[in-house]
Amino acid sequence: MQNNRREFIRNTFGTAAGIVLANQAATALNTSSAESMNAEPRIKFAVIGMNHGHIYGQVEAVIRGGGQLVAFYAKEADLLAAFAKRYPNVKQASSEAEILNDKSIHLVLSSAIANERAPLGIRVMKSGKDFMSDKPGITTLEQLAEVRKVQKETKRIYSILFSERLENKATVKAGELVKAGAIGRVIQTIGMGPHRISLSSRPAWFFNKEQFGGILCDIASHQFDQFLFFTGSTKAEIVTSQVGNVNHPQYPNFEDFGDVMMRGDKGTGYIRVDWFSPDGLKTWGDGRLTILGTEGYIEIRKNIDIAGKEGANHLFLVNQKETVHIDCNDVELPYGRLLVDDVVNRTETAMSQEHCFLATELAIKAQKYAKQLSI
């Protein structure tokens, strides 16, 4: 039987299915490792600011990685009440300062109003703690310059949770496959980030460009992160970008459409983001990523495969030998574990600091220099 198993591996290793099997084995080992590390909390962390519901995904990622949530604070009573209901055994701090002055806390998470995240992150780093922000983690070039300066001085971690890559199982699997050479050298990424607007549920700051940062700074930060990651680019520039408010005149400071073309030192990319997911869709957005390589391509259908396979986390791999669909629902999400590793070991395994800042810089510049689209 052992000989038959070896023969099977030899026969399939060079195929897409073989690469998938190898990666599934590695994932199983990683998951087992993560479960053993989660036995006892490795760090203590807190939350300051929870204006976007993404904070719950941020918290769960760190808990999975071995963190213990010990305190939270926000200025808004309704947000505090909702968070306390979700985490009833966690201490509600009386102020931001109470958390920043607590030397037992290693990491602070935030999904505060977008343009308030960088100033908070600076205060967190100056207090001797690491910081993890919802995206966008920074909304202006001036904020970025100050964050870079303080991060360099304090040597603290400033991480932004680009969840469309780091918390999406199909995108994580795509990273494994690209690293294994499944499609050769990556040439281009095409990232689509449609969203449902759900007007009645949005707070006032959501429609204020100064506060949310603009559609390319906000939503497209995900796609810039993916472009850099999958092409391996460490230098990049915006070729052209445009933004517009084409269908929501009642919110003059809002943007509902944007797209970008960029060029990196190791590949090119195109991004389209919008707030036009129709109500007939079974999810908030038909997010897709296409990765073109010299020997094939990968298409990720993150949240839904319309009129196709059920559920989410779909990956389609096409190479010189075959076309396969990969169900990625059992893939481990390693970001939280790796971030906790980095907090403990002072490393950069979850995301390099320069990658975080470059993805942010590209998003801000695409926004700042975008042409105004009028349809």
Pick the more confident residue, 145 or 9.
145
d(CA 25, CA 86): 34
Q: Nearest Cα to 99, choosing from 135, 130, 124, 64?
A: 124
CA triplet 77, 82, 83: central angle to 5 degrees? 95
Q: Comparing C-alpha atoms, which of 107, 88, 126 is closest to residue 41?
A: 107
Entry pTM: 0.90
pLDDT at position 274 over 90 = yes
**315 vs 175: CA distance, rounded Å:** 11
Model pLDDT for residues 326-370, shown as the tens digit of each residue = 999 999 999 999 999 999 999 999 999 999 999 999 999 999 999
Residue 29 has pLDDT above 90, yes or no: no
Nearest 10 degrees: CA dihedral of 208, 211, 217, 220?
-70
Query: Residue 4: phi, psi to the nearest 5?
Result: -65, -40
Provide Rg for the chain, Cα atoms. Answer: 21
Paired strand residues for 326 = 315
> Average pLDDT, stretch 47-67?
97
> CA geometry: angle at 327 spanning 270 and 317, to 5°?
45
For the chain, percent of residues with pLDDT exceeding 90:
88
Handedness of CA 240, 245, 251, 252 (dihedral sign): positive
